[in-house]
A and B are shown apart, each in its own frame.
Chain A
């Protein structure tokens, strides 16, 4: 079953066309990695579909649907925090600095429609499920008191508060150090398996993509140039832009 379906997505900032005819599908339960060099339009495309770009961007598509419901023209708003959860690059910066972890988690649960009486217990349970030790203490803490890895788990807990079917993760490991990132990736693939969660992963890290993605779509200048199962794309890329991107990523990660 196709969860998210996008055909011919265009995003323009004035006369500049940042995303040009992008098409992709995310099936239920699969993890799709959207790869591409910086500036290829990965994040812009996803934020555009979700209606999270600033007003000066114009977003259009032949079709853009989530569970067969249209996403564009603020249609995505009713799915955010419910059917679709998002996590971002810098987990600490994406938590509100003036609210305790508990208050933020409970706010996400409020948006998801969880009754007030059971919010605290649900928040504790969510953190426990994500392997956070001593959740009661974490709930009383401020974001700046937690490590990056813990902040990312809290961010996931907030994204999972609405029991989403799709998790959008925009470069979730960039701000984490290597060991924490590895733990995080294990957690992410376990979650996807246990909850039957689809993940749309935006990344330019080959290691991350190979670790969690079922399929890869490679973006160049705002359009998908190649897509397919991870092993095939990474093992034998056919498009010249894909080969160039992988070559660049390999030299980048070499010591």
Chain B
């Protein structure tokens, strides 16, 4: 099997990887541009249309006078762009509405934004801390490794949920009501739990690689230690890093919903896929199931996880030159 293309070319020859990357790109753009898109105010209550079912007609509506006035008064670039592009037009609640008649499409987009941010923070923290700690520990081996890994064990044994409870209680007791402080605590907690799997997997892999014949050979060829670490060790850790990421990111997305469910993560009026699923669960009853409230955030989460996993798998395969190519 001959393979003349580089990893990037291989990745983009893979149809499923292209689709997954496209989905992720669209979702990210929609989440980031939520303020520009003609979406209904996620908090706008309309009791005349409680629990409306999803439907495609009508696709667009006109903003109510009250909402139009609020949009006109909103400061900043994004609302101005929205006014210029879409005027008073607004997308109808295609995904239905919730118990207060709020547009589920708009709410899902906002919830998506926070979930994506949580996943991105987790991925960055995991890559930075997890890879550094794991690669350092595995490469140094011996006593340094033992010491670092005991520290990782210690970090792993911290009961994260209790720490969050303490932190949230502390914030409340000290009278800090600034929502951004809560978000910082929330993300710091996600960071704390996210890097440990990465550190362990990378360390195991680095430990195996450091005694590999090609590392010995590169030393015998006169390569300096930084060169060996950055040009020979780290590139060979990329596959295991991607595996660790595709284990961590879904876990963090679920952990976010869990914390929000306990009331320690995202709180109203902020939205995440976790809080949306929770309110869908609360509205569920056997007589009138209103399943769309549960299905919409659930499917959104599933699509996100599936796209992340498909892309992660494809990147891992593309990064490994030893795999045979069709």
A residues adjacent to B (C-beta < 8 A): 50, 52, 55-56, 77, 79-82, 85-86, 88-90, 93-99, 107-108, 111, 140-142, 144-145, 155, 158-159, 162, 168
Contacts and interface: CB of A to CB of B under 8 A. Distances in A.
Interface string B215-248: 0111111110000000110011000000000000
Nearest to B219: A52
Interface of B: 1-4, 142, 212-214, 216-223, 231-232, 235-236, 321-322
B5 to A, nearest CB: 11
B218 A145 contact: no
Nearest to A95: B214
B217 to A, nearest CB: 4
Nearest to A77: B222
Given A98-B236, A145-B1, A93 B221 contact: no
* Secondary structure call for the A interface: loop
Contact of B231 (A90, A107, A162): A107
Nearest to B217: A94
Contacts of A56: 142
Given A145-B1, A145-B2, A95 B222 contact: no
Nearest to B1: A145
Contact of A162 (B213, B214, B222, B232): B222
Contacts of B2: 141, 145
Contacts of A141: 2
17 contacts: A52-B216, A79-B222, A80-B220, A80-B221, A81-B222, A82-B222, A94-B214, A95-B217, A97-B236, A98-B235, A107-B223, A107-B231, A108-B221, A142-B322, A159-B221, A162-B222, A168-B220
B321 to A, nearest CB: 5
Given A88-B216, A141-B2, A145-B1, A97 B221 contact: no
Contacts of A159: 221
A168 B216 CA distance: 14
B216 A96 contact: no
Contacts of A168: 220
Contacts of B218: 96
Contacts of A108: 221
* Secondary structure call for the B interface: helix
A55 to B, nearest CB: 8
B23 to A, nearest CB: 29
A98 B321 contact: yes
A40 to B, nearest CB: 20
Contacts of A55: 142
Contacts of A142: 3, 321-322
Contacts of A95: 214, 217
Nearest to B222: A81
Contacts of A50: 220
A81 B221 CA distance: 4
Contacts of A93: 212-214
B220 A111 contact: no
Given A81-B223, A86-B220, A107-B231, A94 B1 contact: no
10 smallest beta-carbon distances between A and B, as pairs: A81-B222, A80-B222, A94-B217, A93-B213, A86-B220, A94-B213, A142-B321, A81-B221, A98-B235, A96-B214
Contacts of B220: 50, 52, 80, 86, 88, 168
A140 B4 contact: yes
A160 B4 CA distance: 26
Given A79-B222, A93-B212, A142-B322, 12 more contacts: A50-B220, A94-B213, A96-B236, A98-B232, A98-B235, A98-B236, A107-B223, A111-B223, A140-B4, A141-B2, A145-B2, A155-B217
Contact of A96 (B1, B3, B219, B232): B232
Nearest to B223: A111
A107 B214 CA distance: 14
A70 to B, nearest CB: 17
Nearest to B236: A98
B217 A86 contact: yes
A140 B4 CA distance: 7
A159 B220 CA distance: 9
B222 A94 contact: no
Contact of B217 (A82, A88, A99, A140): A88
